[in-house]
Structures are given as C-alpha cells and as structure tokens.
Amino acid sequence: MDNAGFEILLSLISEKRLRDSTQGARGLLIASESDKARVINSSSFRRLQQKAQVFPLEPNAAVRTRLTHSIEVSQIGRHLAQKTIENFGSNTDSYDKLAAFVNTIETACLLHDIGNPPFGHLGESAIKEWFTDPNNESPIPDLADFDGNPQGFRLMSFLGGADDYGFNLTCTLLLSTIKHPWNDQNKPADKKIGIFSADFANYEKACEYLKWIPGQKFPFVRLMDTADEIAYSMSDLEDGLEKGIISEDDLKTEFGRDYFPKGVLKPFLAFKIKVINQAVNVAAGVFKQRLEAFLTGEDHEVIDKNSEVGALLEKVSHFARARIYSDQAAEQVELAGRSVIQGLLKHFGELIKMPEDDFSALISNDIKTIKKKRLDFQIRLFRRLPTGYWEKYKSANRGEEKYRRAHLIVDFIAGMTDDFALETYQILEGIRIK
C-alpha cells in the first residue's frame, strides 16, 4: 500500500470543526496551529503543572508533573510523525498537509493527560469507588467506570469553552486523542470506556465529518499512544534517580553497563537518547508496515513487546513498578490523595443526593426556599462550583438531570490540581481555615 496508504492517512486531516470556525477556512496548516494555540492557552492545560506524574505534591521542581511529561510526550510524538513522513518519502504531499500532520500528532500528545484528576490513578480509583458504593448514589455507569481519557474528551469537546463544543478543535485532532472509541453502552467487555455517554454525540459527529467508522481506533492515535509509552518509560526512571529512590548502579545492574557508556553525555542521558531514538525508528517502521490495517481500525501493537526495543521498554516498565511506583514516597501521598478525593466527594456528594427542586433553588439563589429548607451548607458548597460548569450542567440534551448533576461535581473535582484538592478538603474538614 505504501505511499497510496499514506495519502489516505493524510486525507484524514481536515480543518472541519464541530462548530464552524468564526475565522472561516484558513487552510490545514493554520487550522492545526490554531488547535495547538487553543490547547496551550487553556487553563486546563496550565493546571497540569500542579498535577503529579508519579509523585504528588512534589517540592522538587526537577521531578515531572503532568505538564512537563505532556511536553516531553509531544516532542517524541513530533519526532515520530516526522520519522513517519521520512519513511514514506518527503515528496508525498504538500508542505501544508505534512506540517499539519506533525502538528496534529504533537497536539494530541499535549492533550493526552488533560482529563486526569488530582493524584493520578489513585484519584481515578477513588471516584470509581464512590460511584459504585450503594450508600452514596445509585450507580451511574459513566462514573463507576471513570477514567482520565473520557474526562479529557469531555473537557476538550464540551467543558473547556463558552459553548457546547469546548475548545472547538478540528475533528481530526479530536479523534486523534481517543484511545478507547466507545462508551459504556458499546464497549467490549474487557475494555475501558473512552467517551462518556453524554459526549458520544460529539464523537459521532466528528466521525461523520471525516467519514470514519465509529468504534474503530483512529490511526493517528497509534502514534500519540506510542509516544506516551516511550516517554514515561524513560522519564519515570529519571525521576527515580532525581529523588534518590534508585541509583545509576541499580540501572547498570538491571539493564547492563553497555547501555551506559562514558563520554560527553552523562550515562543516563546517553541511555535515554539511545532508547528513545531506537524506539521511534522501530515504531515508525511498524506504522508504515501496518498502515493498511490501522486504516481499517485493526488493533496491532506499534512496538511489539517481543522486539528488542519492545522487550527493553517492557523491562523498564517492570523495573519502575517494582522499584519506583511502589516506593513509600509515591505510595504514601497517593494513599492520602485517595482520602482527599473521597472526602471531597463525601461533601460535594450532598449536592448530588438532594432533590432536584432543592438543587434548582441553589442555582436560582432562591433565598426563601434555601432558608425554609435549611440549605445553608448546600448553598455554600454550590458557590464553590465554577459558574461555567454549572451553566453547562443546564444542557438538558446531555442526559437526565441527576446524571448531569453527578458529572458537574466530578467535572469540578477532576479539574482540581493536587494542592487545590488538598486545600479544599482541609477547609471542608475544618482542618484548615484560610
């Protein structure tokens, strides 16, 4: 298929958005640059600087946050996209389309963690636990299966802007961020959801505009996901070194001293560069070989775990789980973070449990009803919610009222930074007073 397949791949790049741009058509390259600008200028993206990659509430600025990790992933994604173009030959299409392809992969990488709640995977687990506990709320499937991926799509396609289209990104970029293209109603039994039910219509609309079949993984996602896999494999080792959890000698013992040559570069940096370059070259080669399958939505690994570099990345992952993720410095704060998220849900969950009429009184600031029904605590909780979020809650076409209200609370908590979540929890518990 080779170059013909690459032409089909590039034909999936479009400046079409869910809502037509107020600037009109400006070409693929400008549209892709506009996408990037919308992301990096958003408050949601900036908040990633205070969300943990591995070590929550870390005072050492050299240790990665979700923001610095996302920037590193985007650099590897850009490299991988450029290597893909090189593999297919530089004269396959116009400069604008090729540059837009690179920009799209880069921006998808910048977005890949934007929906993560405070305290990472423990934060995700805490939200799931709360919504599966029958003492808290009748089960809401979306939130019982909560994950940062569907929350990210919700943010970029709905929450993040003034209207119901979020950042109003190109449909190409939207589909390039969806690792699991299904919701609770149509997901395979062994898979996570990648889109909340309320947001599925926007996903289907993007697919329709690009003539892509819903439920099939968009081929650009393969490059974004691979860049993330390569980046976190190396960065977690480097953070472990920075915090003194592991030593360079530990790495030499585990991976062999030949990977850590002496020279101009520090040994770990030489190791990191070598592995990243090798992984990018292998991934771009496999992407070319399997492009026909990716264009039909078939599920294949871009880096085979049985290949030399795949086995090495897998070994790095096992080592990180055994020596870094399980370290007391990471686990202690994660456990505390779980309590923080559960505590926030305990308090703000009161807004989910109350009757709809009472909640409407809070929205309309109906003082008479608030006083009559003694909703003094609830109105103070309600005032903590961002105005833009509860305005979005009013979109009646996005599910039943109780479903929308539950999402409203989770939208607020998931958008918090680690330190703001801790501060809010302490205030609600009476541990801290501003």
pLDDT digits (tens, 9 = 90+) for 103-136: 999 999 999 999 999 988 889 999 999 998 887 7
pLDDT of residue 406: 94
Cα-based torsion angle of the residue sequence 313, 319, 321, 326 in order, rounded to the nearest 10 degrees:
-160
User: CA-to-CA distance for 34 and 208, rounded, in angstroms?
Assistant: 22
Mean pLDDT by 10 residues, the chain (434 residues): 83 94 86 96 94 75 86 96 90 83 98 93 91 78 92 96 92 97 86 93 96 95 95 86 88 86 82 92 94 90 90 90 79 83 94 94 94 94 93 88 94 95 93 76
Record the tokens describing residue 165, joined without a space: 């289209």
**Closest by CA position to 329, among listed 113, 71, 60:** 60
Residues in the chain, how many? 434
User: What does pTM read for this prediction?
Assistant: 0.94
Question: Which residue from 318, 326, 329, 349 is spatially nearest to 138, judged by alpha carbons?
Answer: 349
Q: What angle do CA 109, 315, 331 make, to 5 degrees?
A: 75
Looking at residue 4, its pLDDT comes to 84
SS3 52: strand
Q: Residue with structure tokens 């918090």?
A: 416
Cα separation of 77 and 158, whole Å? 25
pLDDT for the residue numbered 91? 61
pLDDT of residue 356: 94
pLDDT at 92: 61
The pLDDT, as a whole number, for residue 154 is: 97
User: ∠ at Cα 237 (234, 240), nearest 5°?
Assistant: 150
